[in-house]
Chains A and B, each alone.
Chain A
Amino acid sequence: GQQVMQIPQYQHVQEGEDFTTYCNSSTTLSNIQWYKQRPGGHPVFLIQLVKSGEVKKQKRLTFQFGEAKKNSSLHITATQTTDVGTYFCAVFDSGTYKYIFGTGTRLKVLA
């Protein structure tokens, strides 16, 4: 079945620094979603990408889908303490109806 590798597993940054997490697959993806989970909370949907080379922005967050649709990234500019949490990518397999999640990147922001 589909698998997605997410790196890094952990990232500590100083407040104001940038942060990037990457999601990689060995197979071509039809779509990719990103979720954020605050400490002690549940995952919350951020965005979905479906087109090759697609770039979407949400304030300080920039999401990209690779040209070959095998990788994606989430970049946060000038991190804030409110960005703390774990960021997951997820892919939907239309053949099985499964959503497969990456292992997540846990972000800590040091004030």
Chain B
Amino acid sequence: DAGITQSPRHKVTETGTPVTLRCHQTENHRYMYWYRQDPGHGLRLIHYSYGVKDTDKGEVSDGYSVSRSKTEDFLLTLESATSSQTSVYFCAIGREGGEKLFFGSGTQLSVL
């Protein structure tokens, strides 16, 4: 498997608190993506990055922000967590555009 690590693996938090999820890669891949997975919705793109400090919004970006200050780290922040953000979050990396993605093991986030 590609060197991609998500942290934390599980988190329980309260509504209104900020939460940051980390995706760390050791593959030097250019592209990094954050998806959320919910029953019946598949994988929905939140934000993505096509280079250091180059990020853009996906289909479900409201309430989320990202930062990528170096190649290996892509951070996803929930500014003020809501119960609707309870989900499994996956990070994925790609070496070049259009090539296969490698996924991290996911973060199970529960917002109470």
Residues of chain A at interface, number, CB under 8 A: 26
* Residue numbers in B under 8 Å from A43 (CB-CB): 43, 90, 92, 101, 103
B39 CB to nearest A CB, Å: 9
Whether the pair A98, B48 counts as a contact (CB closer than 8 A) is yes
Number of interface residues of B (CB under 8 A): 27
CA of A53 to CA of B44, assembled, Å: 28
CA distance A19 to B80 in the complex (A): 43
Q: Which of A31, A41, A97, A104 contacts B42 (CB 8 A)?
A: A104
Q: Is the CB of B41 within 8 A of A103?
A: yes
CB within 8 Å of A: which of B1-46?
A: 31, 33, 35, 40-45
**How far does the alpha carbon of A35 sit from the alpha carbon of B90 in the complex, in Å?**
14
Chain A contacts to B: CB under 8 angstroms: 1, 6, 9, 30-31, 33, 35, 41-45, 48, 88, 90, 92, 94, 96-104
